[in-house]
A and B are shown apart, each in its own frame.
Chain A
Amino acid sequence: MGGKTVADKIWELHVVAREESGRDLLYIDRHIIHEVTSPIAFDELRSRGISVRRPDLTFAVVDHDIPTVGREVCDEDVLSFKQIASLSKNTKEFDIFFLDCFSPYQGVAHVTYPQLGLTSPGTTLACGDSHTCTHGALGALAFGIGTSEVAHVLSTQTLWLKKPKNMRVIYRGQIPRGVTAKDIALFTIRKLGVGGGFGHVIEYKGSAVESLSVEERMTMCNMSVEAGARTSIIPPDDKTLDYIKNKPFTPKGEAWEEASQQFRKLCTDPNAKFDKEASLDISRLEPQVSWGTNPSMVAGITERVPDPKEYRDNSQREAVERALKYMDLKPGTKMSDIEVEAVFIGSCTNGRLVDLISVAKIVKGRKVNPHVKALIVPGSQLVKRSAERIGLHKVFHESGFEFRNAGCSLCVNMNEDKFKEGARVASTSNRNFENRQGLGVKTHLVSPIMAAAAAIEGRFVDIREWELNEELDLRK
Chain B
Amino acid sequence: MMFESVSGKVVPLFAENVDTDQIIPAEYLRLLSKNGLGKYLFFKWRYDDQGQIQSNFPLNKREFAKSTILVAGKNFGIGSSREFAVWALQDYGFKAVIAPSFGDIFYGNALKSGLLCIQLSEDKVQQIQKAAKDGELIVEINIKNQEIRTNKGETIKLELDPLVRERFLLKQDEISYTLSHEKEISLFEKTRPKFLDIEGPIFLD
Contact = CB atoms under 8 A, between A and B. Distances in A.
Contact of B196 (A29, A413, A434): A29
Interface in B161-201: 162-163, 166, 174-175, 178-179, 181, 184-185, 188-189, 192-199, 201
Nearest to A152: B175
Contacts of B158: none
B145 interface: no
A123 interface: yes
Interface residues of B, number: 62
A372 to B, nearest CB: 23
Interface of A: 16-17, 21-23, 25, 27, 29, 36-37, 39-40, 44, 48, 50, 53, 56-57, 64-65, 79-80, 82-83, 86, 97, 104-105, 116-118, 123, 128-130, 132, 144-149, 151-152, 155-158, 160, 162, 194-195, 198-199, 225-226, 228-230, 248-249, 251-252, 255-256, 258-259, 262, 294, 315, 318-319, 322, 382, 385, 412-414, 421, 431, 433-436, 439-440
Contacts, number: 196
A294 B166 contact: no
A145 B103 CA distance: 12
Interface of B: 14-17, 19, 21-22, 25-27, 29-34, 44, 49, 73-75, 78-84, 86, 101, 103-105, 108-109, 112-113, 162-163, 166, 174-175, 178-179, 181, 184-185, 188-189, 192-199, 201-205
A155 B22 contact: no
B175 A155 contact: yes
A436 B19 CA distance: 10
Contact of B101 (A80, A160, A162, A198): A198
Nearest to A316: B16
Nearest to B45: A434
B108 A149 contact: yes
B185 to A, nearest CB: 6
A23 B163 contact: yes
A145 B30 contact: no
A433 B22 contact: yes
Contacts of A262: 193, 195
Contacts of A116: 201
B191 to A, nearest CB: 10
A29 B188 CA distance: 12
A36 B203 contact: no
B21 A436 contact: yes
A128 B178 contact: no
Nearest to A261: B195
A251 B201 CA distance: 9
